[in-house]
Structure 1
Amino acid sequence: MEKIKCFNSAAEAITDLDNGGHFYNIFTHAKDNVISQAEAGKSAGGFAGKQQAILHLELALSRLDESSVNEVRSRFDETLQTNFTKYKSQVLLPSEVATKGNTGSNMIVTGIPKLTDGTRKLSGFIMVPTGSAFTMIPLMDVYDIYEIRDEQEGQGLLIAHQKGETQLPEQKLTVGGVLKESDEDEGSPSSKFLEIRYWVE
């Protein structure tokens, strides 16, 4: 999970994003006034997939006004334009996610995260590749669990933050990730949680 530095201008965004992609993206060129999916992926760091790269891009552009965002988007190639629409994040209040959030989609929420005291748990497992097989690891062994609220009294949303990483500050933040569901006991409804990838102050 990574803290994002937002772009301050369209010019800064275009300079950063028109980066040529990774060394193996032989058909992508830096400073050609076209921003491709590969270049957005490189900007997101590591080897981000399409959905994660779009989430990073949205958050990095989130402090720009509409005309500046449109200027940057005018440089997107056809594939990036398509993916930007396909993977566009839902932007909701934490209290709205339970009823309006679409599982599996990118999600951006703003609020104050607070590390839970251990009474709020996520049940279920994630599959981790180990050689030629997969091992099931409990969610609680992988994530620190926070609750983020839009108001002091409003319904909170559980957010999962990778264990071992720097703790989130208890202040107003915007976080982005993928909305998932944890398995509850038989007969109980599953609960939604946000597996966060990026955050901005």
Structure 2
Amino acid sequence: MKILKPLRTLDDFRAHYDNGGHPWNLFSYPRDRVLTPGEVASAAGDLFAGAMVVLRFEVLRDGLPPRESAEALRMLDASMRRRHRKHEPRRVRPRRWAAGPAGRMAIVTGIATPHPHPLTVAGDVRVASMDPECVMPSLIPLRQCARLYFVHEEGGEATSGCLMAVFGGRVNLPPRLHRFAGMLLDTVTGGLRSKPTRYLMGQFAVPV
């Protein structure tokens, strides 16, 4: 998970995104108030404006005042608007986060508290095998390969919130409001020893 610096004003947002894109984006121009896929991808440190790039754009845009947020969206060119419509994340509340199909991007605002009993979380995830002779992914319990949190409303009970899994190392999440962005996923049913569990695979966090 990446902790992103919030962009509080439209000027900050423009300075971050209206950057001219990569050197090969010949039709992207800095400071022209038009955001192309190349510029949005470049700001994210990516080559192409796919689902994660749109997710990052949206979790940062949500930090702007409503009028400036709408103006930031109008800056997208036609190509970037199509990608935005395809990958736009859902905004969900911590208490009602699990509805809808798995595989959707989502943004949930709340306080992240470490799961008090991670060993009780059932379900496996597919992890690529480290054995070059084995092409089948391994099934690993979610609780063993990710740090687990509950994202809950301020003042609310932690266990009533969204189950979030953070992969790939330790992340310092202070007990304050953040916008968490990621993908809603289900664990794999691993026979009798596990059952599907819905969770948010956390990708970005922005302090509110």
Q: TM-score w.r.t. structure 2 length?
A: 0.82
Whether the aligned pair in 1 keeps the contact of 2:148 and 2:163 (CA below 8 Å) is: yes
Pick aligned residue for 2:138 from 136, 139, 142 = 136
Q: How far apart are the structure 2 equivalents of 1:76 and 1:170?
A: 34
CA-CA distance at 1:185 after TM superposition: 5.5
Q: Which residue of 2 aligns with 1:181?
A: 186
Q: Where in structure 2 are the equivalents of 1:114-133 lying within 5 Å?
A: 114-116=113-115, 117-128=117-128, 133=135
CA-CA distance at 1:184 after TM superposition: 4.1
CA-CA distance at 1:129 after TM superposition: 7.4
Q: Which residue of 2 aligns with 1:50?
A: 50
Q: Where in structure 2 are the equivalents of 1:9-48 lying within 5 Å?
A: 9-47=9-47
Q: How far apart are the structure 1 equivalents of 2:128 and 2:24?
A: 27
SS at match of 1:167: coil
Whether the aligned pair in 2 keeps the contact of 1:37 and 1:79 (CA below 8 Å) is: yes
1:196 is aligned to 2:199? no
Which letter maps to 2:22? Answer: H
CA-CA distance at 1:47 after TM superposition: 4.5
CA-CA distance at 1:181 after TM superposition: 0.5
Pick aligned residue for 2:162 from 152, 157, 170 = 157
Q: How far apart are the structure 2 equivalents of 1:31 and 1:134?
A: 48
CA-CA distance at 1:134 after TM superposition: 5.5
User: Quick one: structure 1 residues 135 and 87, their matched pair in 2 at CA, closer, same or farther if it must change by over 3 Å?
Assistant: same
Q: Which residue of 1 aligns with 2:148?
A: 145
CA-CA distance at 1:125 after TM superposition: 2.4
The alignment yields a C-alpha RMSD, in angstroms, of: 2.6
Q: How far apart are the structure 2 equivalents of 1:36 and 1:51?
A: 15
SS at match of 2:163: strand
Unmatched runs of 5 consecutive residues or more in structure 1 = none
SS at match of 1:109: strand
Whether the aligned pair in 2 keeps the contact of 1:2 and 1:198 (CA below 8 Å) is: yes
CA-CA distance at 1:173 after TM superposition: 2.1
Whether the aligned pair in 1 keeps the contact of 2:22 and 2:39 (CA below 8 Å) is: yes
Which letter maps to 2:188? Answer: D
* 1:56-99 residue CA offsets vs partner (Å, 9 max, x unmatched): 1111111212221222222211111122222221111122123x
Unmatched runs of 5 consecutive residues or more in structure 2 = none
Which letter maps to 1:148? Answer: V
Q: TM-score w.r.t. structure 1 length?
A: 0.84
SS at match of 2:97: helix
Q: How far apart are the structure 2 equivalents of 1:152 and 1:137?
A: 31
Q: How far apart are the structure 2 equivalents of 1:52 and 1:167?
A: 21
Whether the aligned pair in 2 keeps the contact of 1:127 and 1:134 (CA below 8 Å) is: no
* 1:130-185 residue CA offsets vs partner (Å, 9 max, x unmatched): 66946435244431111222221762321011242323223332211010001246
User: Quick one: structure 1 residues 105 and 95, their matched pair in 2 at CA, closer, same or farther if it must change by over 3 Å?
Assistant: same
